[in-house]
């Protein structure tokens, strides 16, 4: 007779986890009160796309911007309606010209690269570090050409890139740096917050982020000039550009990237909960480390020296040669045991059809084929071998931001891993 408790659920046994874990939700009466206050005011958006006091938004937006700027220690914080809007604004604000190249990572969400294409510039993909999954500084410099104008460094999964090393490269070649810190709010490197050490940085506030208000984001900069350009792009720049004396008006195609008052009110409350949300995930990660480190063929997340990790994702690697089974089988077995939030691979966005076919605007391969641009940018398989191997063969992740794991729930995840591994060794 089969012992259903000890047999893998994938093989007909009883799963370790037999009920759904509670989803991540930090909302309470504070958010409800903040939303009701906005509704009762009758002002759901305080923006007007014209010269005047309303150009910078309503009172909730401005209060939130002031509060989050103080929290992160930046001179300027500008709220936007999504982090995708933030990235588009950031690329435009640094004065990118059509045909310029921007180096970034393939191990990210597509918007990091499509924000580059938005301004008719060319994304160039650099490989990543095998331990942190962030863009590898050692790989960046090899990709720099006379067309390179910036680096978009993504603080992936909850920890900062090696920004000091990237800054040395940027200074050497006179490049701008944009930090995409969507997944790492509150992470630090050598005592400074991720996303605040670049020319422009910022955070995402959409569902399953540490701070969430439905949709939204915020841009950080210490530059008065960049802050002005960001505010213009955010709010229909062409409507207020007439009286300006500045001749630096490139990319002043303005948009409606404005955050509403309800989202700002919610985000203000959520900001107060950031440190507790971070600590909750760090405690879960510490418990996972203790429970999983001994498993052969499994590498738990590594935290860089001087860094803190806020664990949007608990990223692991599988040594399939040592274990003698495929990663797919392991993931299926873990899912069968009821482990929630397990993902197989992550992103290799250079392999998306838009880059493989080089078709973004129309059918004639624009902007890769345009007058004045002659570099033959290659997106073939093999240009980012570490990212590709991780995605195809060795990476598994536990999505920490989709759930609010209790100590008991983490113990059941650990029990599930140990049960699966007992069948592998």
* pLDDT, tens only, 315-353: 999 999 999 999 999 999 999 999 999 999 999 999 999
pLDDT at 247: 58
At residue 241, the pLDDT reads 78
Q: pLDDT band for 1, please (50, 70, 90 cuts).
A: very low
Task: Give the whole-angstrom CA distance, residue 158 versus residue 312.
Answer: 5
Separation between Cα atoms, residue 329 and residue 393, nearest integer Å: 11
Scan for tokens 């940027």, then name that residue: 170
The per-residue pLDDT for range 134-148, each reduced to its tens digit, is 999 999 999 999 999
Tokens of 194: 């991720």
Cα end-to-end distance, the chain, whole Å:
23
Q: What pLDDT is attached to residue 3? A: 54
Inter-residue long-range contacts of 117-121, CB under 8 Å, 24+ positions, other chains counted: 117/354, 117/360, 117/367, 118/88, 118/91, 118/92, 119/88, 119/91, 119/92, 119/251, 120/361, 120/366, 120/367, 120/370, 121/91, 121/96, 121/97, 121/149, 121/367
- Measured between alpha carbons, how far is 161 from 155 in angstroms, rounded to an integer? 5
Can you give the length of the chain in residues? 425
Residue 92's alpha-carbon distances to 81, 282, 373, 383, in angstroms, are 16, 35, 19, 27
Residue 108: per-residue pLDDT: 97
CA gap 160, 9 in Å, rounded: 38
Alpha-carbon torsion angle 135, 140, 198, 270, nearest 10 = -10
**What DSSP state is assigned to residue 141?**
G
**Coil, helix or strand for 76?**
strand
Is 182 in contact with 204 (CB distance < 8 Å)? Answer: yes
- Tens-digit pLDDT profile for residues 214-253: 999 999 999 999 999 999 999 999 888 765 555 578 889 8
Task: Name all domains of the chain by residue range, CATH numbers in brackets.
Answer: 29-273 (3.40.640.10)
Task: For residue 229, report the phi and psi dihedrals to the nearest 5 degrees.
Answer: -65, -40
């Amino acid at each position: 007779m089969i012992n259903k408790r000890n047999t893998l659920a994938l093989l007909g046994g009883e799963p370790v986890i037999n009920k759904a874990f509670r989803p991540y939700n930090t909302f309470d009466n504070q958010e409800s009160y903040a939303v009701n206050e906005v509704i009762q005011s009758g002002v759901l958006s305080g923006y007007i796309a014209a010269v005047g006091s309303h150009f910078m938004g309503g009172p909730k937006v401005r209060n939130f911007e002031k509060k989050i700027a103080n929290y992160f220690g930046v001179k300027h914080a500008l709220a936007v309606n999504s982090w995708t809007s933030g990235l588009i604004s950031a690329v435009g604000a640094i004065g990118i010209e059509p045909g310029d190249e921007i180096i970034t990572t393939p191990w990210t969400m597509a918007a990091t690269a499509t924000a580059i294409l938005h301004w008719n510039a060319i994304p160039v993909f650099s490989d990543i570090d095998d331990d942190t999954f962030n863009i590898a500084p050692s790989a960046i410099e090899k990709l720099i050409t006379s067309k390179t104008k910036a680096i978009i460094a993504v603080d992936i999964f909850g920890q900062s890139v090696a920004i000091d090393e990237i800054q040395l490269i940027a200074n050497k070649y006179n490049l701008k740096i944009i930090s995409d810190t969507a997944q790492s709010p509150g992470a630090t490197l050598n005592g400074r917050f991720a996303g605040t050490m670049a020319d422009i940085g910022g955070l995402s506030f959409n569902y399953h982020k540490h701070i969430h208000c439905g949709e939204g984001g915020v841009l950080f900069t210490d530059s008065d000039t960049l802050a002005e350009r960001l505010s213009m792009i955010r709010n229909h720049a062409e409507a207020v550009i007439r009286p300006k004396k500045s001749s630096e008006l490139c990319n002043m195609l303005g948009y409606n990237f404005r955050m509403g008052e309800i989202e700002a009110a919610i985000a203000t409350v959520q900001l107060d909960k950031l440190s507790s949300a971070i600590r909750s995930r760090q405690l879960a990660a510490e418990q996972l480390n203790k429970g999983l480190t001994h498993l052969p063929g499994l590498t738990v997340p590594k935290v860089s020296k001087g860094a803190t990790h806020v664990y949007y994702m608990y990223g692991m690697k599988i040594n399939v040669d040592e274990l003698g089974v495929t990663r797919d089988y392991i993931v299926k077995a873990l899912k069968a045991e009821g482990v929630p939030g397990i993902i197989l691979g992550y992103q290799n966005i250079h392999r998306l059809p838009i880059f493989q076919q080089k078709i973004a605007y129309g059918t004639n391969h624009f902007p890769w084929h345009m007058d004045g641009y002659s570099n033959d940018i290659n997106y073939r398989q093999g240009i980012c071998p570490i990212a590709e191997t991780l995605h195809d063969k060795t990476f598994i992740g536990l999505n920490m931001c989709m759930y609010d794991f209790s100590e008991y729930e983490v113990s059941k995840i650990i029990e599930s891993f140990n049960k699966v591994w007992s069948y592998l060794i």
